[in-house]
Amino acid sequence: MTKFINQKNDIINKLRGSGLRPTKQRILIAKNLFENNRTFHFTIDSLNKKISKKGNEKISLATIYNTVEAFTEAGYLKEILTSKNKSYYDTNIKSHHHFYDEGTKELTDINYNQVKLSKVPMAPKGKKIKNLEVVIRIQK
Amino acid sequence: MTKFINQKNDIINKLRGSGLRPTKQRILIAKNLFENNRTFHFTIDSLNKKISKKGNEKISLATIYNTVEAFTEAGYLKEILTSKNKSYYDTNIKSHHHFYDEGTKELTDINYNQVKLSKVPMAPKGKKIKNLEVVIRIQK
DNA sequence: TTCTAGTTTATAATTATTCTAAACTAGAAA
DNA sequence: TTTCTAGTTTAGAATAATTATAAACTAGAA
Ligand SMILES: [Mn+2]
Ligand SMILES: [Mn+2]
Ligand SMILES: [Zn+2]
Ligand SMILES: [Zn+2]
């Protein structure tokens, strides 16, 4: 009970800390994204479905888009670009890599230390490296 | 002159070799993609514009989509997935990596030997690795 | 030359995403 | 507490990329 309250307070503080008002909708989305310890990958559509079940009050699709974008900008989510025509997001914000299964279209994490790069090019002059990601495409 | 004819024959043979009829449209698209030695990245839209100039007979957008897909399946093009909401293609089909500039949204090749991986995870059981790509996102 | 499977085309349909502008609300201030 | 307003949510429209449809065309075998 205390734990539950604290979790909710944590979320509220997290939001406030990024200048985001802790609205009912944002709190509910944050619960669905961050309340269990395990991280996962999702799309707007899968998140929307996840929230729609459980008899929650409905959140409009526009709000889900807005909130996921806001959370991404705040650094609570990472956007993963591996797939055509659809954006994937990741609640694992640590630097890491991915398997992308072309059959099932599923992403799986590869721990950062499972990949070692012994040579990496410098950024072109005037530019700096924002991140480096390895994607390993797999299939049956 | 002889060279020109041979180039066109090369294209026709290339297409036939993949079970693709060498139609006027496919030959024109192939010329625009493969006739000069340097490789490049493009989108459907940029390819369409490139062909529309030069006073070529117009090719319908649907045919450009169909042809690019057919060429990709035939292995003449590689699809690059780095960008939200738009597909990029590459006439460089050798294994290589990319810089992606988040400001200009431009792709630049990184030679295969400019990146060295000293450790790579195994594919999950039952799956095999189709390719591995490094994307380095850069910005000002 | 004929014939037909494969191809092209204009256009409609679909899908993901973004925009709009009106209604609502968190929370600071009175 | 109540008032006020900037920030937020919302339904629905708009946009953009892509895919589907189905009628007209054509490469090339026979
Ligand atoms: Mn899209
Ligand atoms: Mn799309
Ligand atoms: Zn991940
Ligand atoms: Zn390339």
| CB of A132 less than 8 A from some CB of B | yes
| CB of A131 less than 8 A from some CB of B | yes
pLDDT for residue B111 is more than 90: yes
pLDDT at site B2: 53
Predicted confidence band at A65 (pLDDT cuts at 50, 70, 90)? very high
pLDDT tens, position by position, A75-88: 999 999 887 888 99
For the record, the structure tokens of B136 come out as 């380095």
Distance CA A46, CA A40 (A): 11
Q: Which residues of A touch B124 (CB under 8 A)?
A: 99, 108, 138
CA B109 – ligand 4 centroid, Å = 5
Work out the average pLDDT over B103-112.
88
pLDDT at site A140: 86
* Residue A72 burial by Cβ neighbours in a 10 Å radius (0-12, 13-18, 19+): middle
CA B50 – ligand 3 centroid, Å = 37
Work out the average pLDDT over A109-114.
94
Across the interface, which of A101, A127, A129 has its CB nearest the CB of B127? A101
Provide Rg for chain B, Cα atoms.
17
pLDDT at site B80: 92
Pairing outcome for strands A41-43 and A88-90 = antiparallel
Average model confidence (pLDDT) for chain B? 91
Helix (H, G, I), strand (E, B) or coil at A127: coil
Helix (H, G, I), strand (E, B) or coil at A51: helix
Assessment of whether the complete model's pTM goes beyond 0.85: yes
pLDDT at site A101: 87
What is the set of domains in chain B, with CATH numbers?
Answer: 1-93 (1.10.10.10), 94-140 (no CATH)
For the record, the structure tokens of B55 come out as 């006073």
Please name every residue paired with A109 in a beta bridge, in sequence order, or none if there are none.
A98
Number of other residues whose CB lies within 10 A of the CB of residue B126 = 7
pLDDT for residue B5 is more than 60: no
Q: Determine the distance in angstroms separating the CA of B44 from the nearest CA of chain A, rounded to an integer.
A: 14
> Nearest residue to C27 (CA, C1')?
A21
- Is the distance between the Cβ of B21 and the closest atom of strand C smaller than 7 Å? yes
Query: Does the beta-carbon distance from A137 to B119 stay under 8 Å?
Result: no
pLDDT for residue B44 is more than 90: yes
pLDDT at site B139: 87
Predicted confidence band at B79 (pLDDT cuts at 50, 70, 90)? very high
- Residues of chain B numbered 85-124 and touching chain A (CB < 8 Å): 85, 87, 99, 101-102, 108, 110, 114-121, 123-124
Comparison of pLDDT for B54 and A15, the residue scoring more: A15
- Following CA atoms A22, A23, A26, A27 in sequence, which dihedral angle do they give, to the nearest 10 degrees? 70
pLDDT for residue B29 is more than 70: yes
Closest-lying nucleotide for B64 based on CA to C1': C8
| CB of B130 less than 8 A from some CB of A | yes
pLDDT tens, position by position, B59-76: 999 999 999 999 999 999
pLDDT at site B24: 96
In whole angstroms, C29 C1' to A16 CA is 19
Q: Determine the distance in angstroms separating the CA of A83 from the nearest CA of chain B, rounded to an integer.
A: 6
Distance CA A105, CA A124 (A): 33
CA A77 to chain CA centroid, Å, is: 4
Element (H or E) spanning B27, and its range?
helix B24-34
